[in-house]
Structure 1
């Protein structure tokens, strides 16, 4: 039983731990195909690419980025800057590692936080900045 008086805090912590536990399995899962990604495979499908439209030179924020494959694919597709946000520190660490491995650490950055706290980690001067 929880000792916290805030059920939302309990949920967030349980969720964070769950994703921390899953990342090692996901990285080796054929579903994510990390080896293919490292060889240059784009993880975004045609529907996503069509919906996104032209991203060349744009700044994009990707919420719940997990370990960053789609975030890094956005950078590969020409986004000027992509910021991936996830609650799990282990997924963010893996995303940063992958960004270095594929030479995208200058155009992709990762922030570990609850998305409701993003304003503490990513202050924006103008609402339409990202």
Structure 2
């Protein structure tokens, strides 16, 4: 019974984020066109605090449609992005393919990551 309640919440959450993906992709906030041209989506504090990520393995939970995940990939990290939204993962994979980036995206809620994503991070 409890799992049924969680499934309902996960499904509602996924549907909500699925609706937001096209709105966010089209918005000026995410600057998708600039990202495609090479601009990072990362903030200076993120870059400073994490430092050099070359050769590091990074798991990005709640990656939305993957811009930050792909930004870390551009900086040399081996990245896997996770999101509950199938539309978010679809868009991330579309951008990744267009940019020919070696990054992986997996649709999963954060609780199921251990069974859906192999490896250590």
TM over 0.5: yes
1:36 partner SS:
helix
Find the partner of 2:110 among 102, 111, 115: 115
Map 1:32-111; keep pairs closer than 5 Å.
Answer: 32-79=30-77, 81-104=78-101, 107-111=102-106
For the residue of structure 1 that corresponds to 2:28, the secondary structure is: coil
Query: CA-to-partner distance for each residue in 1:59-116, whole Å, 9 max, x for gaps?
Result: 100000000000000001111x100000011100000000011120xx2100001111
Aligned length: 120
Q: CA RMSD in A?
A: 1.4
| Structure 1: gaps spanning 5 or more residues | none
User: Normalized against structure 2, the TM-score is what?
Assistant: 0.93
Aligned-residue offset at 1:10: 1.6
Alignment partners' CA distance in 2, 1:71 and 1:5: 30
| Runs ≥4 residues deviating over 3 A | none
Unpaired segments of 5 or more residues in structure 2?
none
Q: TM-score, normalised by structure 1?
A: 0.87
